[in-house]
Structure 1
Amino acid sequence: DCGASTGGFTDCALLMKAKKVYALELGFNQLDWKLRTDPRVVSMESTDIRKLDNPLDPEISIVLADLSFNSLDRTLSGMRAAVSAPEVFFLLLVKPQFELESTVIPETGVVNDSGLLKAALEKARSAIERENMELLSHVDSRVRGREGNQEIFVWARSLAAK
């Protein structure tokens, strides 16, 4: 779970019967106590996903990412480096306000324009393909971001070991 924060995706993974979850977070002391003390959770606070260059665990089969203040363009290579299985799936939350250039973001900071959403998705697709991955599907999140941004879930997979 990249960008674990308080552990929303980590909790969902455990509810879906994950055996182990690596909860990576650049910040510190955010992960919910229930998750922090769960033996299936490996809390990796103060970890910059952009600086990972070795696999965490050869059994990782899915990567979850809900990142703020950073784009997939800058973080996907670290996510790919963290896994070594031949086929790994990725559930990525595309946040247009962090994918697009600041010059095109409305003054409100809220991105809901269909053209800008499409541009953010295409930028994410380019990053995915650059990392030897395939975008399988995408769907708009039913829940808007904290500030009201329309976010997009992307389902992708690695095509081969990188």
Structure 2
Amino acid sequence: MKAETADLLFEVVGRLEKSIAAHDCPAIVAIEGERKLVLSDYDYLHDSATAAAFEERGAGKAREIGATRWVLAVPQVWIFRPPSTIALRAVSNHPLQEGEQEAITWMSFDREDGVDYGRVAYTRRPDGEPVFEEPEIFEVGIRPRETMPGFLLLQRCLGDE
């Protein structure tokens, strides 16, 4: 990952970590091109239509400013199912079940460097305060499904190539 994209990743993750600590769970996308834009959506996790509308809006802004890179980050619950399946669900106030972990799911795109995926896992102290790990970049071949945060945004940006 290029240094510029990593800087943008840390900025977006930092913003989202502050929101999560304040009990908010927006999706955040930062887009760099002729200028930098940061968009957020508190309803992103409500349903797939709302998520798609946010990503379409982000793609429109990316075209407007001639985006060279972007990072999208979304708080989710990761559900680990043996032997090697991972499912995702929206965060909620319900306690985590066995095999579940809260994490920030992220996707980055750089026109020169390509696409990276990852997560920032976090746990909560007994008082509910989140404790965040460092961003993890997936080093194994991951094929995102259409429901992965950023998938539609990526398809729209690649369609502009």
Could you state the TM-score of these two structures normalised by the residue count of structure 1? Answer: 0.31
Could you state the TM-score of these two structures normalised by the residue count of structure 2? Answer: 0.31
